Amino acid sequence: MRKRNLSMMGLLLVSGLFTSCAQKSPYNNDDFQIQTVEVTNKADLGIMIWEISVNGQAGNTVPVPAGQLDGAPVLGYVFPTSLQPTDVGFGDTEGIVALALTSHPDFDDTPLWDENNDSVFDNDGIIWHPHWVVLAKDDRVAGGLSVKQFKKADKTVVLPPTNPGMPMYMDSPGYPVTAKNNSIKVVVPHYRMNNKTDFNYDGVAAFMKVNTSDDGLPMLGVYEVFSVASGDLSLPYTVK
């Protein structure tokens, strides 16, 4: 059943891809045209290296600030996976677990981490950083997906202790991210993902946007998909 759900999600997102590619996006450039995606297991170190390579310069393009949280742009290099939410610290819930490397200058959602090392912990949202998220089908946005939300009063929701305090299935795990030349990489310890070393994944480059004013839209939705490594989001890649 889960594989079937993933397939349906893939078809939906690819449909959004063709819609979004018809749009004139200021961010749709070679920096987000994926060449390859790769997850490599370093068993001797107990880590995995997740990497996306692009035609241009990875991480070079960052969002233009909106000046406020509502409508704030978010750019992301995203790894959708076949992992379960419980593997990365969430409760048992439906959706696609993805590791997203994001940049967004209007807000900081990594309160535990000082990515630019200036001793201020709430001013570095523009620095590329990781999030675990659970993605859900969402027809309200062109990309067809959003980060899964929940009501603040719902006490049954389980989030990792490093979550940023938003009513979404999102975590701010603080893994190191490095963007150099045409590649962006993130290092993930085995123990931070339930020691899972055998799973499927894909690569997506996308534009997202924050919404805090319209109840008819998601809090964080996918509005444009620039490229998909597999072409159809079938999660065909396995850990090396």
Residue 1: per-residue pLDDT: 39
Residue 10: per-residue pLDDT: 52
Q: From CA 127, how far away is CA 105, in angstroms rounded?
A: 8
* Exposed/middle/buried for residue 110 (C-beta within 10 Å: 0-12, 13-18, 19+): buried
Distances (CA, A) of 237 to 61, 100, 104, 129, 220: 26, 17, 28, 23, 26
Lookup: tokens for 68: 């406020």
- Say which residues have a Cβ less than 8 Å from residue 109's Cβ, sequence separation at least 6: 125, 131, 164, 166, 170, 172
Distances (CA, A) of 20 to 16, 17, 60, 189, 217: 6, 5, 21, 34, 17
Which segments in the chain show pLDDT lower than 70? 1-25
Residue 121: per-residue pLDDT: 84
The alpha carbon of 223 is separated from its chain's Cα centroid by a whole number of angstroms, namely: 13
Whole-model pTM over 0.85: yes
Distances (CA, A) of 159 to 34, 83, 94, 136, 172: 31, 16, 14, 16, 11
Distances (CA, A) of 53 to 96, 98, 143, 156: 22, 17, 22, 39
Residue 15: per-residue pLDDT: 43
User: 149 near 135, Cβ under 8 Å?
Assistant: no
Residue 123: per-residue pLDDT: 77
Count the residues in the chain.
240
